[in-house]
Amino acid sequence: GELFAQAPVEQYPGIAVETVTDSSRYFVIRIQDGTGRSAFIGIGFTDRGDAFDFNVSLQDHFKWVKQESEISKESQDMDNRPKLDLGFKEGQTIKLSIG
């Protein structure tokens, strides 16, 4: 089959996936076709546990994305800092007493 529509989820909570106010088992999903047109459809889970798992998996995914972004930013910040020269200078010595 041919792709009819997709639901790109850039952030959660957000416009792409929204919880229904009066039920924990139903969600509104924003779908888009290849031309950029969008529509909203509803999905529902018979079992509250499945709805909970869907909700938590979205939250966990975006928590992971945020952590990866922060780690990448910290890594870039570390690369931009001046490097410490912790090596011995020319002619510098160290004496160790063992025992």
* Per-residue pLDDT tens digits for 46-89: 999 999 999 999 999 999 999 998 888 888 777 777 778 888 88
Q: Which residues does 96 contact at the CB level (< 8 Å), separation at least 6?
A: none
Mean predicted lDDT score pLDDT of the chain: 89
**Amino acid sitting at position 32:** Q
Is 21 among the domain residues? yes
Is 47 among the domain residues? yes
Is 36 among the domain residues? yes
Radius of gyration of the chain (CA): 26
Is 91 among the domain residues? no
Q: Which domain holds residue 34?
A: 1-63
The structure tokens listed for 48 are 């509250």
Q: What is the pLDDT of residue 85?
A: 82
Give dist(CA 65, CA 23) in Å, integer. Answer: 27
Is 97 among the domain residues? no
Q: What is the pTM of this model?
A: 0.65
Residue 50: DSSP 8-state: H
- Tell me how many domains the chain contains: 1
Is 86 among the domain residues? no
To the nearest 10°, report the CA torsion of 20, 15, 43, 1. 180
Q: What is the pLDDT of residue 36?
A: 84
Is 77 among the domain residues? no
Is 84 among the domain residues? no
